[in-house]
């Protein structure tokens, strides 16, 4: 089915309000999820709703929580999200960090104990819109691991995302990626659609490469992207996001329950501090043009910059609607009933 942005956002917000979230917070979460769908990341869009409903009904996810500034030494701020909606508490920490970076030039922000933060690029885009460079190192804890370290068969970490966003005079450059070969949610989406996952993204229980998304439920593991390099970056995210900013890393098996917690270390930096922002902007623009002018490789249409595919998806989905497969939609509707939304209020 195809559904338009407005109806999907209103329905999603309604579900979160039924769980007890005030409208302002429910709208922020709904808009974040629907934007992830618009940008082509269905893994981090409204398909997360059943998991959020599950988390809220079990008391893991606190639907009316604000972040708390628990330490402040000027250039370093530490926030505790107390397991509030990541889209709300993560945004609050981001906005306060941005304000500080504007007065100090640079700030390092720890944001611990956020329920699922969603698409990390969203926080980088907020900073870029304010003219700041940002970097985000995130670990994922709260449930059993899915990703094997390079060379290993056991699952030891999660999809630990990394993001760096660079402001430009136009659209920002946004590198926003899981450190696994593909995001966990993309395995879920492939399974729902009955499609294979790309080569190199999954191992079965014996450590043999497979394209079957079902292998993950049968003892298989997600591969790190780029072999030892992605594994190394995942470890850095684990240590900076979870060990430094956060309260725990994946090794603490006693804390592996049935929830999704993100802990994030962020840097916000004013590009005007190094030789003037005009110089930097010129370099960014020149480099972007230089790369875009590359002759496409065989079978490719053009060279893109990080952030381009998401913008292309957004333009297409805004015009034509957001596709949602039947199984995902059935699960969202089921979750909405569990949250207390009357069946008659379900769109379509
Ligand atoms: P992806 O592989 O689709 O894209 C990764 C990056 O590569 C993006 O910045 C994209 O713009 C860029 N890119 C893609 N194709 C490109 C091309 N042809 N040329 C240049 N750049 C290109 O993303 P992913 O790794 O599957 O991650 C998806 C989302 O999942 C991200 O938003 C991430 O933040 C999110 N995520 C969240 C969590 C969490 O716990 N909250 C965990 C993992 C991932």
Report residue 152: phi and psi, to 5°: -115, 165
- DSSP label of 203: E
- DSSP label of 148: P
Nearest to 30, CA basis, from 108, 110, 87, 74: 87
pLDDT of residue 184: 83
Give mean pLDDT, residues 162-182: 96
- For residue 191, the CA-to-ligand 1 centroid distance in Å is 19
Ligand 1 atom nearest the C-alpha of 186 is 26
Give mean pLDDT, residues 14-42: 98
User: Per residue in 181-226, pLDDT tens?
Assistant: 998 888 888 998 899 999 999 999 888 999 999 999 999 999 999 9
CA separation for the pair 105, 113 (Å, rounded): 26
Give mean pLDDT, residues 164-187: 93
Q: How confident is the model at residue 26 (pLDDT cuts 50, 70, 90)?
A: very high
The residue whose CB lies within 8 Å of the most ligand 1 atoms, and thus the one to mutate among 164, 309, 311, is 309
Q: How confident is the model at residue 242 (pLDDT cuts 50, 70, 90)?
A: very high
pLDDT of residue 344: 81
Look at residue 140 and tell me whether its pLDDT is greater than 90: yes
Give the residue whose CA is nearest to atom 18 of ligand 1: 304
Q: How confident is the model at residue 180 (pLDDT cuts 50, 70, 90)?
A: very high
Topology (CATH) of 65-180+226-269: Ribosomal Protein S8; Chain: A, domain 1 (3.30.1370)
Give the residue whose CA is nearest to atom 15 of ligand 1: 309
Give mean pLDDT, residues 33-44: 96
Look at residue 348 and tell me whether its pLDDT is greater than 80: no
Q: How confident is the model at residue 73 (pLDDT cuts 50, 70, 90)?
A: very high
Pick the CATH number of 181-223 from 3.90.1150.10, 3.40.50.1980, 3.10.129.10, 3.30.60.50: 3.30.60.50
User: Within its chain, how far is the Cα of 270 from the centroid?
Assistant: 23
- For residue 177, the CA-to-ligand 1 centroid distance in Å is 4
Ligand 1 atom nearest the C-alpha of 176 is 9
Residues flanking ligand 1, CB < 6 Å? 41, 43-44, 116-121, 140, 159, 161, 174-178, 182-183, 186, 262, 304-307, 309-310
Ligand 1 atom nearest the C-alpha of 163 is 34
Ligand 1 atom nearest the C-alpha of 43 is 30
pTM across the whole model? 0.96
Topology (CATH) of 1-64+311-348: Hypothetical Oxidoreductase Yiak; Chain: A, domain 1 (1.10.1530)
Give the mean pLDDT of the chain.
Answer: 95
Q: How confident is the model at residue 275 (pLDDT cuts 50, 70, 90)?
A: confident
Give mean pLDDT, residues 27-48: 97
User: Per residue in 296-319, pLDDT tens?
Assistant: 999 999 999 999 999 999 999 999
pLDDT of residue 66: 98
CA separation for the pair 304, 313 (Å, rounded): 13
Q: What is the token pair recorded at 199?
A: 């080569």
pLDDT of residue 336: 97
- Strand segments, DSSP code E, in the chain are 2-3, 68-72, 76-80, 106-115, 133-141, 162-166, 173-177, 202-203, 209-210, 221-222, 261-269, 322-323
Q: How confident is the model at residue 343 (pLDDT cuts 50, 70, 90)?
A: confident
Q: At what angle do helices 23-38 and 86-104 cross, to 10 degrees?
A: 90
User: Per residue in 97-128, pLDDT tens?
Assistant: 999 999 999 999 999 999 999 999 999 999 99
Give the residue whose CA is nearest to atom 41 of ligand 1: 118
Ligand 1 atom nearest the C-alpha of 116 is 41
Ligand 1 atom nearest the C-alpha of 36 is 32
- For residue 224, the CA-to-ligand 1 centroid distance in Å is 13
- For residue 72, the CA-to-ligand 1 centroid distance in Å is 31
CATH 1.10.1530.10 maps onto the chain at: 1-64+311-348
CATH 3.30.60.50 maps onto the chain at: 181-223
pLDDT of residue 169: 92
CATH 3.30.1370.60 maps onto the chain at: 65-180+226-269
CA separation for the pair 246, 194 (Å, rounded): 36
């Amino acid at each position: 089915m195809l559904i338009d942005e407005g109806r999907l956002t209103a329905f999603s917000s309604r579900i979160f309000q039924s769980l007890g979230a005030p409208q302002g917070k429910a709208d922020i979460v709904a808009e974040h999820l629907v934007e992830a769908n618009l940008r082509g990341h269905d893994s981090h869009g409204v398909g997360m709703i059943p998991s959020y409903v599950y988390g809220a009904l079990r008391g893991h996810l606190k639907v009316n929580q604000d972040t708390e500034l628990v330490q402040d030494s000027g250039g370093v701020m530490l926030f505790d999200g107390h397991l509030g909606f990541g889209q709300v508490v993560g945004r609050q920490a981001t906005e306060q960090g941005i304000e500080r970076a504007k007065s100090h030039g640079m700030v390092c922000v720890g944001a611990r104990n956020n329920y699922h933060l969603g698409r990390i690029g969203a926080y980088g885009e907020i900073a870029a819109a304010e003219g700041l460079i940002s970097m985000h190192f995130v670990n994922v804890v709260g449930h059993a691991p899915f990703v094997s370290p390079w060379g290993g068969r056991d699952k030891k970490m999660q999809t630990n995302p990394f993001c760096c966003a660079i402001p430009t005079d136009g659209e920002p450059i946004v590198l926003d990626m899981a450190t696994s070969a593909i995001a966990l949610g993309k395995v879920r989406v492939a399974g729902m659609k009955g499609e294979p996952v790309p080569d190199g993204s999954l191992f079965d229980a014996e450590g043999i490469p497979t394209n079957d998304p079902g292998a993950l439920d049968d003892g298989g593991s997600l591969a790190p992207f780029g072999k030892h390099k992605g594994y190394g970056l995942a470890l850095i995210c684990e240590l900076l996001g979870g060990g430094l900013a956060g309260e725990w890393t994946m090794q603490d098996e006693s804390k592996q329950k049935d929830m999704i917690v993100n802990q994030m270390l962020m840097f916000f930096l004013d590009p005007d501090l190094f030789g003037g922002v005009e110089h930097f902007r010129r370099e960014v623009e020149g480099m972007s043009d230089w790369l875009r002018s590359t002759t496409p490789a065989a079978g490719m249409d053009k060279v893109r910059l990080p952030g381009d595919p998401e913008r292309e998806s957004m333009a297409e989905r805004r015009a034509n609607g957001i596709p949602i497969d039947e199984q995902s939609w059935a699960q969202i509707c089921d979750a909405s009933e569990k949250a207390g939304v009357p069946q008659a209020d379900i769109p379509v």
